[in-house]
Amino acid sequence: MRGRITTKDYSAINNVSERTARNDLVAMVDKKILQKIGKTQAAYYVIRQTFGKHSAKKVIENNQIP
């Protein structure tokens, strides 16, 4: 499905271990860039729709992540 990524997908795309992929994704969740959906191996990540008072589209267009 478009618009979401799993740890396994991220690992394959970036040629990193699944542990590194998980750490990277968790860091992006902590920075409020991504939102984690689910809690098991079926969990996936999506781009947050808002960054505080800024919309995701505007942040991406301006290449500015708060």
Listed by start position, the domains of the chain span 7-61
Predicted local confidence at residue 49, as pLDDT: 73
Between CA 47 and CA 9, with CA 26 as vertex, the angle to 5 degrees is: 65
pLDDT digits (tens, 9 = 90+) for 40-60: 888 999 988 765 555 555 555
DSSP codes, 35-56:
EEE-SSTT-EEEE-SEETTEEH
Among 3-7, 20-24, 39-43, 50-54, where is mean pLDDT lowest? Answer: 50-54
